[in-house]
Chains A and B, each alone.
Chain A
């Protein structure tokens, strides 16, 4: 079949921003200077139409004459020194194709069979070498997991395939070695679990189908089964309750009156106002993001949005958050382990993925953070959260009834995402990127948006009995769980496919994105189908709930899976796991008078810090874990839905960072929903218990600093941990204990959570890299009146600046200041929860009483960083005194969580306002645009705001071309 090609590019007199972006990366990320200019074209291919029609499309759809030029079946750019074309791999869904086909039909061209699009890149430069082009191609233009360089014009765009088949696997006769061979690479189960499967099939006297084996493997995967969190733990030889149970029991004991649903649904739900509820879920997407950061981050966002959409009987997504951990973007390429992508690329592509999914869904991405540590070089941590709004009366799912229909909505099923659940439960190796490429896919936000629109309408009309998302494990997981108590019969041949040729087990377990499953009573089917039609959402009845307690999956009349639900969901043996944390000693400096020898001090030589205090302040501000992340925030639409009440940045120049975000999801009401989070990988590494307390306290401090009432907050946990060997599990045990203690003292319950225990890398040369353990605590809650909240920017000159909270400032381990001096340290901040809890309540009273024009929580970079950020926002200076006898550096740079910098009006009595908690008036805001530090009655140093701000803004401006 003839294929027509249309090429489109901007007129040469006009800029090509995409080409300029690539040129910037070629020069800055790759250090290649031979390329002088880059331009790009779009290539569209059409199968089945005439050349005349292709010309018509070129003029009326693809190219806009006012600024573009085009050619049919001919190049549109000639004379470049090098050029190449990049397309998606066959079978990877190109999100644009459906729109192209729609427009072609809307323009009256009926004979189109298939279409595709791709990009061409043209390079000019005198001495561009073959090696340089290869580097540019591999590092910037093509991620071989999903893309390829096109070398010959395709003969057809149609993907064909034979109808799938089902195989049988003779597990009954296998010995241990054969069982483990079967498990390796695909199932990721241990020998004991493989034997349980073997025994089950021996007991029912037949061998399993491939579909059955795969179904069991994904249901029992760490990702879906949370085996470690449910395991019986032996900690230092003593038995302790399973981790999950401890967290759940702490929540039950807290008995928080606002909690509507905890740990049972796709997200946790708490009461809002006027019959409404808010819900929250935070997910990780580390493994896919490590190998295809753009697609991985997109599908991470898409997945967590679907979790919220599938909460109760359907929720509206109202906010999105993103927390990342990477190695430093300027890390030399040679220290990146084999099979791992460079952090500069990862960071930019993950941000682009979050941007393109959230923005297109119309969901504000308005809270997040980025942390850097060299130990993330083998695998990043990518955490994405979503929050939703739903009527409280519809926040519980009903159970599917016998005779109900299982309706699948949204995207079609393809071979993408096969083995995602099992893959994300596995460690990363240098082979991961090639072997598991089918586990990664590109998201299609618009598919999910229209599906969400349809679901919300069906939900409002009360047509949904139960709903869940298709995430890890695909239909197998969604229908397996939905039908757990009742039984379900599935007709796999009815599933709409992207292309033919899938085997039944692939259809069953594919993790193709943007699919939701609804249980609908038969009498409501017509109406639900009509709603879906109106929103252009494909909906198909693929199963019936039966009442027989079996999972029966058929394909063209043949049974491909016939399992007892009881065995599937409860047959997994409880693991008994050993845990023993081993304390590692990180060196502390000999004396508080650290001698800096780092370039961080800007001197290039060994110096005593007393001479370079200004430089050190600037170095702290430009530390990757302190510096402004504004260039990232500005590519996310954080104002969509019109709900923003406290955005990520405020102040005179809108560049002062806030601690939390507040949205007002009911546009005509004064109510707020607040979202914040906390994490600190380095502190977790030094001491999992104290590091985890820090994370929880930091998360809540962020919310309280903006005006939240600690009584109105709930929590979400995310444990991103190395593979749970004895030592890592010991650390995890301590981290969970910290969470439980936090709940006990503060009464704030965890109502949702997730563990991801595969952050270990094994290279073929035997290298083992454990990624730092991360506990990310997310906080969400309600605010009765958004008028009683504050931002972090100083509002006035002449105000008092007050430090709140208890600090032992010599506890400097894990701080940015130590890091700049080349130390990690062991003496980390140890937080007294009782005292911190009191600070929360007193501070909240002060803010809601209107006494506090600005407040900022102290975290990385310490008091000094918080102070500078408040000054940036207010465009005012500050003059502060360090108490006599205190070490000035420790005073400025200690990072104890649960401490705050507060602005109160001149003349207000701090003693009265903050009675009962540690407070200290450290200085005042001034007109002069500098931070002046006084010590023992004289000036220690004075540094201009402009130099601090420049240092603080520079690092991410560099990475993101600003």
Chain B
């Protein structure tokens, strides 16, 4: 069975087509759905197995990045969202999508309407567009199954990507093994140094999942590296597969296996 993917769009969404492409080539069946269509009942989340919140600048990232869309989701779609996460389905938030998931409270603790972490302005004070290395931790995350211990190279492109939480919450996130991706040096050592850690994230956190491993948010863009020629150095790399592909593959496989 091809899982159905809802690629959520709204004003200022802009990585939707790449995300669509990444899911399609790994065997999913995608549809671009405007948040208005969920609000007016034309579309319902219940018809989908995967919800992908793509990158971009939803509503211009006014007030905070992803905030206006997060308010909209928690105000009008709370029931649908709760039903979705309680029915063994997957949610992926990339870049702006990650910001949205954190600001709805879905990440880290599925605490819809309560914010327990933030993606703050980069320490550099600027938008940063550069490729980064991320180490993959051993977690329950469905999207990274079988990738533990690997280092993936993906592009980051954001101005507000500094993962932040207070010490107590950070401890829970760490001890629950919810940190999926950390910024690392090429050889794999976790680093706080700019620009390998492009934004100053606490504990070099680049992506986290919820406690079930079915909700993932990350700042870098796996959908921008699903074929080799998307890498800046594809002409000199000896790689078999593009690093972003497995994340989408795993999501699709989850429904095929079950």
Chain A residues packing against B (C-beta within 8 Å): 10, 14-15, 17-18, 20-21, 60-62, 64-67, 95-96, 99-100, 102-103, 106-108, 355, 359-362, 444-446, 449-450, 453, 533-536, 633-642, 644-645, 647, 649-652, 654, 664, 667-668, 786-787, 790-791, 793, 795, 853, 960-962
* C-alpha gap A99/B156 in the complex (Å): 26
Complex CA gap A787/B118 in Å reads 41
Interface residues, chain B, CB within 8 Å of chain A? 9, 11-15, 17-18, 21-22, 25, 34, 36-37, 55-57, 59-64, 67-68, 71-72, 75-76, 103, 115-118, 120-131, 155, 157, 164-166, 221, 223-224, 226-227, 229-230, 232-233, 235-236
Given the known interface contacts A21-B125, A355-B127, A446-B11, the answer about A793 and B236 at a Cβ–Cβ threshold of 8 Å is yes
Which residues of A sit under 8 angstroms from B55, Cβ to Cβ? 640
| B122 CB, nearest partner CB in chain A, Å | 7
Q: Please tell me if the beta carbons of B124 and A359 are within 8 angstroms of each other in the complex.
A: no
What residues of A have a CB within 8 angstroms of the CB of B117 in the complex?
A: 66
CB–CB B75/A639 < 8 A: no
- Contact present for B11 and A449 (CB under 8 Å): yes
**Most chain-B CB neighbours within 10 Å: which of A100, A359, A644?**
A359
Q: In the complex, what residues of B have CB within 8 A of residue A795's CB? A: 235-236
Residue on B with the closest CB to A647? B232
Known contacts A66-B116, A95-B62; decide if A654 and B129 are in contact (CB<8 Å): no
CB distance from B46 to the nearest CB of A (A): 20
B34 close to A534 (CB less than 8 A): yes
> Which of A18, A67, A533, A787 is close to B229, meaning CB atoms less than 8 Å apart?
A787
Partner of A654, one of B115, B124, B127, B232: B232
CB distance from B218 to the nearest CB of A (A): 15
Do A61 and B129 contact each other (CB < 8 Å), given the known contacts A95-B60, A360-B12, A640-B157? Answer: no
In the complex, which residues of chain B have a beta carbon less than 8 angstroms from the beta carbon of A536? 11, 36
Bound CA span A18–B125, Å: 6
A62 and B63 in contact, given A449-B12, A637-B157 (Cβ under 8 angstroms): yes
Contact B11 A450 (CB under 8 A): yes
Q: Are B60 and A635 in contact (CB under 8 A)?
A: no
> Closest CB-CB distance, A561 to chain B, in whole Å?
34
- Asked whether A61 lies within 8 Å of B63 as measured between CB atoms, the reply is yes
Known: A360-B60, A446-B60, A790-B235. A99 touches B129 (CB 8 A): no
A41 to B117, CA, bound (A): 20
Add 16 more A-B contacts to A100-B62, A642-B15, A650-B233 (CB < 8 A). Answer: A64-B64, A67-B120, A95-B62, A96-B60, A96-B62, A102-B72, A103-B63, A103-B68, A107-B75, A449-B14, A535-B11, A635-B128, A642-B21, A642-B22, A649-B232, A786-B229
* Separation of A66 and B202 alpha carbons in the complex (Å): 13
The answer to whether A636 touches B129, judged by C-beta atoms less than 8 angstroms apart, is yes
Are A99 and B59 in contact, with the CB atoms below 8 A? Answer: yes
Residue in A355, A361, A642 whose CB lies within 8 Å of B223: A642
- Minimal beta-carbon separation of B18 from chain A (angstroms): 4
Residue on B with the closest CB to A99? B62
Report the minimal beta-carbon distance from B247 to chain A, rounded to whole angstroms: 14
User: Is B127 a contact of A106 with CB atoms below 8 Å?
Assistant: no
- Min CB distance B169 to A, Å, is 8
In-complex Cβ contact of B15 among A360, A640, A654 (8 A): A640
Chain B residues touching A, majority SS: mixed
Residue in B18, B22, B59, B123 whose beta carbon sits within 8 Å of that of A102 in the complex = B59
Residue of B at shortest CB range from A62? B63
**Are B18 and A642 in contact (CB-based, < 8 A)?**
yes
B14, B36, B67, B129 — most chain A CB neighbours (10 Å)? B129
Min CB gap A128→B, angstroms: 22
A642→B224 contact, CB < 8 A: yes
Smallest beta-carbon distance B17→chain A, Å? 7
B124→A17 contact, CB < 8 A: yes
Contacts of A642 in B (CB 8 A): 15, 17-18, 21-22, 223-224, 226, 230
Q: How far is the CA of A62 from the CA of B103 in the complex (A)?
A: 12
Whether A66 lies near B166 (C-beta < 8 A) is: yes
In this complex, what residue of A is CB-closest to B37?
A534
- Closest CB of chain A to B61's CB: distance in Å? 8
Min distance, Cβ B66 to any Cβ of chain A, angstroms: 11
Complex: A26 Cα to B63 Cα, angstroms = 26
User: Whole-angstrom distance from the CB of A580 to the nearest CB of chain B?
Assistant: 48
Given contacts A106-B71, A106-B75, A786-B229, contact A635 B125 (CB under 8 A): no
The 6 closest A-B pairs by CB, nearest first: A362-B14, A17-B125, A99-B62, A642-B18, A446-B60, A446-B12
A66-B71 contact given A21-B125, A649-B232, A791-B235, CB 8 Å threshold: no
Instruction: For A645, list chain B residues within 8 Å (CB).
Output: 229-230
Contacts of A14 in B (CB 8 A): 120, 164
- The answer on a CB contact under 8 Å between B63 and A650 is no
Measured between beta carbons, the chain B residues less than 8 angstroms from A10 are 120
Asked if residues A667 and B68 are in contact (CB atoms below 8 Å), the reply is no
Instruction: Answer whether A635 and B232 are a contact pair too, CB < 8 Å, given A361-B14, A446-B12, A536-B11.
Output: no
- A644–B226 Cα gap in the complex (Å)? 12
Which of B117, B227, B230 neighbours the largest number of chain A CB atoms within 10 Å of its CB?
B230
